[in-house]
Chain A
Amino acid sequence: MIYLEVPKNLKLVVNQAHQVAKHIFRPISRKYDRAEHDYPKELDMLAALMDGLSAGGGPQGAGVDSLQREEGANGGVRNGGNMTTCLGLTELCWGDVGLALSIPRQGLGNAAIAAVADADQKERFAGVWAAMAITEPGAGSDSANIRTTARLDGDEWVLNGEKIYVTAGSRADAVVVWATLDRNLGRAAIKSFVVSHGTPGMEVVRLDKKLGIRASDTASITFTDCRIPKDNLLGSSDIDTKKGFGGVMQTFDNTRPVVAGMAVGVARAALEHTRKLLEEEGIKVRYKGPLFAKSAVEAELIRMEADWEAGRLLMLKAAWMADNGIPNSTEASMSKAKAARVGNRITLRCVELCGTLGYSEAELIEKWARDSKILDIFEGTQQIQLLIVARSLLGKRSSELR
């Protein structure tokens, strides 16, 4: 039965996340935008808070480790961990995207562990804060082209290479690293490995200064004959050239709707605040009458809201599919493509609509317009999402539509 509202039982977790965003993130948002690379000590409290929330009987599965493909819901529709996480991150990013990315134990590496690890590994890595390291100086969107290598030597993997743009790369406890077992075998040979900070041969060599999400650390990490236990490889070590990327790529089906949710959150922050500032100037939004008979600013607010709702609903659709065991690669990419591009467009337009107030550091709007840009880039750029959607609609392989 078609019903596209957030269910009541999830409103509780949404509200909790909103309170965190409002009372913890917003008051320190500007502080850590200015103090790039300072560790937000408030986040340790937040980690304790989040653990407390779930221990206190709050809704289960609001974190990235609940991002798992459900095995077909028996007996009716599920609104589960994927939807909860998307909605939670939406609220947290309404508060601050950079801080949301810095919550201990909520890294993208944790999502990868949840998606690919076996039962034993899930137990071993429980409570570990894991970042995700894919991009290299010579390989970004073409992640099949990575050069970091893993070579088995006795009971250990030996890693060599350099990773860049690792979100939470210096603060996390561990990093999930993509490396190839054999460069000649293409994407099928790419596996993911959990490497703990402090492992000899692993070194954080640089922290980037960025356009936005400055509260989040973005690290470059080198691996020089870095030795890790054999069973820190996630999934199977078999090189199945038919299955190809399958293992490592399936994380994205779960994390892309979450990034869509992040864009939905920051865009809503900008829209709400812009409306508030404009209301003080006597501008009201009314959902009646012809769009073109309205003032340009009122019409623009409505257009942005329509686009924003589209991103939000596509995110919920992709999460709903994952929760109900329906393959969602295409829909996950659609949701990220739409939500991230309108999120960026909306935040930038809000700066413009609010004039110097929007452009000034006196308000957070200019910051949201900087923060939103990364959401159309990481976890697959806009162009990569379009490629995935196009290949799916047109029935093309990556060798045909390149």
Chain B
Amino acid sequence: MGSSLRVLNRIADSPFVERLGLEDRAQKLVYEGAKRAAETAARAAKRFSSKRTDDRPRSSKKFDLSLTEEQQLMRDTLRRFADDVMQPAARGADDRSSTPDGFLEAFSELGAIAMSVPEVLGGAAEQVSAVSQMLIVEDLARGDMGLAYAVLSPLSFVNALVHWGSDEQQARLLPSLLEGESGAATVAVMEPHPLFDPGALRTAAKRRGSDYELNGEKSMVALADRARWFLVAAEVPKVGPRFFLVERDAEGVETRDEPAMGLRSASLGRLKLDKVRVGPEALLGGEAALKAEGKAAYDDGMNRARIAWGAMALGTAQALLDYVIPYCNERLAFGEPISHRQAVAFMVADIGIELESMRMLVYRAAGRIDAGLKCRREAYLARTLCSEKAMEIGTNGVQLLGGAGFIKDHPVELWYRQLRSIGVMDGNLLL
């Protein structure tokens, strides 16, 4: 169509057409030319669409922001859990830097883990969906980001097994994880140094015959004090970064507490791997993971991590917005609610706008996974925007409450600390 338009434009631009008074005729020519081009394009589009066999549900072909019935159901459940269980427990768990006893069990009763595992693997999901997983993260982080991190770590471990585990690994580990018998499991990707890059790990998994020897240190690992299984990301020399299933009992595994600015209620810890020897069955995905398949799985995992942390930002920022609105409406200064002042009201508006901006980018990246599209760029952009805007929202939340925002009577100082993690965390969670 482009070339015909170029021709038509040359006609339009021609001084001859004007001088000869041929505008009317030229216009008619353009009209007919455009009509022909459109007819051809419409025919081509029709042919294209009828030739394609429809292998995905029809609804996925349209821009759509509505949730499935199942997602809505899970959302209603988790929101109540966030309001009734998580928010009341958040402050105490943060003070104690520890996940409350019974909390993981309470969460597993909601069925979120079973809903993440397909029926063929013993779960309850008809289809696993990155969007559904992302919504779970968002709704839990609305309750409390630290507690969400705690319960999402075993879920992330399960997700990794479902996506990339070999048949043998799935059969060996999933049943007990689904029944909550094997104790907690968690993910350890991040390392304690500036400019951490999940694509350039310092933790190494050197081959020793058919075994691997793991050396390195992992940081900000949730449930480090109680996890029985760790999904460890390590660089296999000449191969690249891969995931390993490492048991707590293995020789050379050591954990210690690593309390941080926020996320404290996830029982954060360092994981030290000192000459930890594991068999070939520890490599996630088995032998096949040493090939291109393993690289694709790891890259996929990093995208999923970025979307997960973006969803964490959404949930906490939403909680913050929901909190500052009534506060600004009730707090009086100069004889009226402070929300009647544009300086205050515009900050609230910007929180709303940037929150929705983050939400669109995170949702889009997750939607692309479910549609079978590439999402590295989209996940990276979502992380970039969320890193900046989540903290902006956090600091403005405290600002809106003034001195009250700085003291622990209100949750905004906690959210401020939690939201700082979004720019830091790159890994350790997987949709």
Complex interface bits, B321-354 against A, C-beta within 8 A gives 1, otherwise 0: 1000100110000000101101001101110111
CA distance A8 to B342 in the complex (A): 42
> A316 on the interface (CB 8 Å rule)?
yes
Residues of B within 8 A of A313 (CB): 357, 360-361, 364
Main secondary structure of the interface of B (DSSP, over half): helix
> B41 on the interface (CB 8 Å rule)?
yes
Is there an interface contact between B65 and A2, defined as CB atoms closer than 8 Å? yes
Is there an interface contact between B31 and A401, defined as CB atoms closer than 8 Å? no
Smallest CB-CB separation from B57: which chain A residue?
A: A1
User: How far apart are B359's CB and chain A's nearest CB, in angstroms?
Assistant: 9
User: How far apart are B12's CB and chain A's nearest CB, in angstroms?
Assistant: 4
CA distance A66 to B284 in the complex (A): 53
Is there an interface contact between B380 and A288, defined as CB atoms closer than 8 Å? yes
Is there an interface contact between A393 and B63, defined as CB atoms closer than 8 Å? no
Is there an interface contact between A49 and B384, defined as CB atoms closer than 8 Å? no
| A20-28, A147-155, A205-213, A223-231 - interface stretch | A20-28
Count residues on chain B whose CB falls below 8 Å from chain A CBs: 85
Residues of A within 8 A of B354 (CB): 338
Q: Tell whether A387 pairs with B380 under 8 Å between CB atoms, given A3-B63, A23-B5, A320-B63.
A: no
> B410 on the interface (CB 8 Å rule)?
no
Task: Give the size range of A's interface with the partner.
Answer: 35 or more
List A residues 371-402 near B (Cβ within 8 Å).
383, 386-387, 389-391, 393-396, 400-402
Is there an interface contact between A19 and B345, defined as CB atoms closer than 8 Å? no
Is there an interface contact between A79 and B63, defined as CB atoms closer than 8 Å? yes
Interface centre among B18, B37, B41, B373, by most chain A C-beta atoms within 10 angstroms, is B41
Is there an interface contact between B348 and A309, defined as CB atoms closer than 8 Å? no
Is there an interface contact between A16 and B41, defined as CB atoms closer than 8 Å? yes
List A residues 1-60 near B (Cβ within 8 Å).
1-9, 12, 15-16, 19-20, 22-24, 27-28, 41-42, 44-46, 48-58
Interface centre among B66, B197, B367, by most chain A C-beta atoms within 10 angstroms, is B66
Is there an interface contact between B2 and A22, defined as CB atoms closer than 8 Å? yes
Residues of B within 8 A of A57 (CB): 38-39, 42
Q: Tell whether A44 pairs with B27 under 8 Å between CB atoms, given A4-B65, A320-B65, A334-B356.
A: yes
Interface centre among A15, A288, A320, A400, by most chain B C-beta atoms within 10 angstroms, is A288
Smallest CB-CB separation from A6: which chain B residue?
A: B63
Q: Tell whether A58 pairs with B38 under 8 Å between CB atoms, given A23-B9, A291-B384.
A: yes
Contact of A288 among B27, B28, B199, B363 (CB under 8 A): B199
CA distance A82 to B12 in the complex (A): 30
Smallest CB-CB separation from B377: which chain A residue?
A: A287
Is there an interface contact between B353 and A3, defined as CB atoms closer than 8 Å? no
Q: Which 8 A-B pairs have the closest CB atoms?
A: A56-B38, A52-B34, A310-B357, A313-B360, A56-B35, A287-B380, A390-B345, A45-B12
Q: Known pairs A49-B5, A309-B378; list 5 more (Cβ under 8 Å).
A: A4-B65, A27-B13, A46-B12, A57-B39, A393-B348
